[in-house]
């Protein structure tokens, strides 16, 4: 299916009241993955912006889309903590792996107090919203999408969440850029084929 057609299917699907009720087949929380060819990244960014603007500009819909770019969140938090400039200096002196470990630790990515998950929670209405998660490819290798989904799934269950993923989602695992395997993630539905 062509990317434009897939996005039209997304638009049609998320407008339905049943989608907004946020329940999956087994009555579990509505988490979805829209996977795509990584070569289409720039087209997908444009399409996501179009669908967000298309939905959010309609007065007759009872919900809004909240789009969280994971990379932008990381940069924002690092700036807020006055850590962004330090990461550049660390990279020059100590290398990329050191910077990656330092950023992961600073953002508390492997903890319950994960700053990215907390940011999303604090900025998501408890109802009448759909959360889009974008910027997965840009955030790699600092952040792995299964980390965000696993942590978010435990605390955000009142609104549907859609992860836009540059790679393949088999329904069992996420393969970033169609090459990098991640830990299995079984809780999301594939949004469209």
pLDDT value of position 24: 55
Q: Which residue do the tokens 């998950």 mark?
A: 117
| pLDDT greater at residue 183 or residue 147 | 147
Exposed, middle or buried by CB within 10 Å (0-12, 13-18, 19+), for 32?
buried
CA distance 103 to 99: 6
149 touches 109 (CB < 8 A) = no
> Is residue 65 within 8 Å of residue 132, measured between CB atoms?
yes
The count of other CB atoms within 10 Å of the CB of residue 99 is 19
The pLDDT assigned to 177 comes to 86
pLDDT digits (tens, 9 = 90+) for 122-180: 999 988 999 999 999 999 888 888 788 888 888 888 899 999 999 998 887 888 887 86
The chain-wide mean pLDDT, for the chain, equals 87
pTM of the model: 0.91
Q: Sorting pLDDT into bands at 50, 70 and 90, what band is 186?
A: low
């Amino acid at each position: 299916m062509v990317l434009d057609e897939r996005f039209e299917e997304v638009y049609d699907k998320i407008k339905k009241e049943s989608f907004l009720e946020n329940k999956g087949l087994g009555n579990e929380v509505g988490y979805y993955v829209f996977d795509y060819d990584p070569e289409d990244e720039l087209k997908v960014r444009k399409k996501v912006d179009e669908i967000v603007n298309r939905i959010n500009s309609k007065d007759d819909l009872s919900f809004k889309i909240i789009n969280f770019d994971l990379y932008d969140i990381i940069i924002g938090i690092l700036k807020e903590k006055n850590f962004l400039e330090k990461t550049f200096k660390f990279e020059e002196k100590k290398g990329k792996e050191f910077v990656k470990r330092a950023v992961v630790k600073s953002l508390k990515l492997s903890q319950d107090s994960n700053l990215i998950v907390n940011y999303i929670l604090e900025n998501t209405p408890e109802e009448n919203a759909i959360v889009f998660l974008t910027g997965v490819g840009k955030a790699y290798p600092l952040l792995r999408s299964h980390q965000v989904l696993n942590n978010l799934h435990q605390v955000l269950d009142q609104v549907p969440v859609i992860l836009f993923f540059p790679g393949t989602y088999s329904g069992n695992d996420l393969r970033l850029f169609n090459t990098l395997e991640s830990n299995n993630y079984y809780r999301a539905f594939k949004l469209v084929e």
